[in-house]
Structure 1
Amino acid sequence: MPAIPPVCDFGWKAPDFTLPGTDGRDHALSEIAGPRGTLIMFICNHCPYVLAVIDRIVRDGRELQGLGIGVAAICSNDAISYPADSFGQMKVKAREWDLPFPYLHDESQRVARAYDAACTPDFFGLNADRELQYRGRLDASRNRAGPADARRDLFEAMKLIAETGRGPQEQVASMGCSIKWKAA
């Protein structure tokens, strides 16, 4: 059963974090943030929803960076129960996917909990003040890639945020595999 995140809580202030990246460096939100906004994505290595669109995620991330949007992806899944999402495997996927942005490991799951991340992929589009303006889908794809000419919901929303500081009022929620939480 796919998980669906809640609708956008406009103006919610994103908490700062520092997480290790697959590039061997630690990355803080304050360093990732772009002058015109920031996109934080919760993804993982094995989710069919992510795998169906990883090429589009990479394309959009690269293009958004060109618009002054800072971009990072975070994997928060329990790597003990899901070894495909281990930090070592994240490094392999970051190279394989040729990620143009940091891929960060949230081993403690504190960042996912602070953001109330629900699924992979889950997109958090922030304005330059790090206020939430978009929490919608990438495009019409689900666990299979949608048409090549599908409307680029995430890209268009982030472009609007870069230009105006505000996201679209109408947003379609993302859908994906639930975050794989550690046992309590």
Structure 2
Amino acid sequence: MLLDTPICDFGWIAPDFTLSDPHGIPFTLSEQLGCKGLLVIFLCNHCPYVQRIASRLAQDAHQLMGEGISVVAVMSNDYREYPEDAPDRMVAFARQHDFPFLYLVDEDQSVGKAFGAVCTPDFFGFNARGELQYRGRLDDACQGGEAERTPELLNAMRMIAETGRGPREQHPSMGCSIKWRT
């Protein structure tokens, strides 16, 4: 089911969490929150929207991380019902697309629910104080096109790193609904 993300709730404080990577190594949000902010991305492997943007996302994440902005991805889908999203497949997907960021498993889906994540991809850009400043899309490229794109997420995270505030005009991300357990 195609969904759009809600409007950014400026100033919302990110709840801390502890999630493990596919190898079982735990990480906390507070450890990832850097002095230039943090981008939390809700992803999964099987979503065609994620697949279409994966190379552009990796490119933008490499740039952000090179500029000192932290990036982490979370996979909240029920991978028992969607085995393409299982932890071993997350490793392969991240390698295939050259993801430079942590790709963490939200086993009990509590982090996705606490964040109010609705789709993949769903982007949450926080300033250094952990306040939400961006809940928009990756860019304005249509259906995976890369020519002449405006990298809205990249630009927003750079603004957040510099000023602590995100752009007031944001366009929602859209993608497949998160696959919640029933």
- TM, length-normalised to structure 2: 0.96
Aligned residues: percent identity?
53
Give the equivalent residue in structure 2 for 1:106.
106
Task: Tell me the secondary structure at the aligned position of residue 176 of structure 1.
Answer: strand
Q: How far apart are the structure 1 equivalents of 2:23 and 2:95? A: 10
Aligned to 1:165: 164
Distance 1:73 1:141 in 2: 21
In structure 1, the partner of 2:120 is: 120
What amino acid is aligned across from residue 44 of structure 1 in structure 2?
C
Structure 1: segments with no counterpart, 5+ residues = none
**Pair 1:85-2:100 in alignment:** no
Report matched runs for 1:1-184 at 5 Å: 1-22=1-22, 24-141=24-141, 144-183=143-182
Q: Tell me the TM-score normalised to structure 1 length.
A: 0.95
Question: Gapped runs of 5+ residues in structure 2?
Answer: none
CA contact (8 A) 1:22 1:94 kept: no
How much does 1:24 deviate? 4.5
Paired with 1:62 and 1:180, the residues of 2 have a C-alpha distance of 28
Alpha-carbon offset, residue 88 of structure 1: 1.5
Structure 1 stretches of 4+ with a deviation exceeding 3 A read none
- RMSD (Å), alpha carbons: 1.2
CA contact (8 A) 2:36 2:161 kept: yes
> In structure 2, how many angstroms separate the alpha carbons of the residues matched to 1:99 and 1:160?
22
1:175 deviation in Å?
Answer: 0.3
The answer to whether the 8 Å contact 1:40/1:123 transfers is: yes
Name the amino acid aligned to 1:155. Answer: L
Take 2:96 and 2:107, find their aligned partners in 1: how far apart are those partners? 21
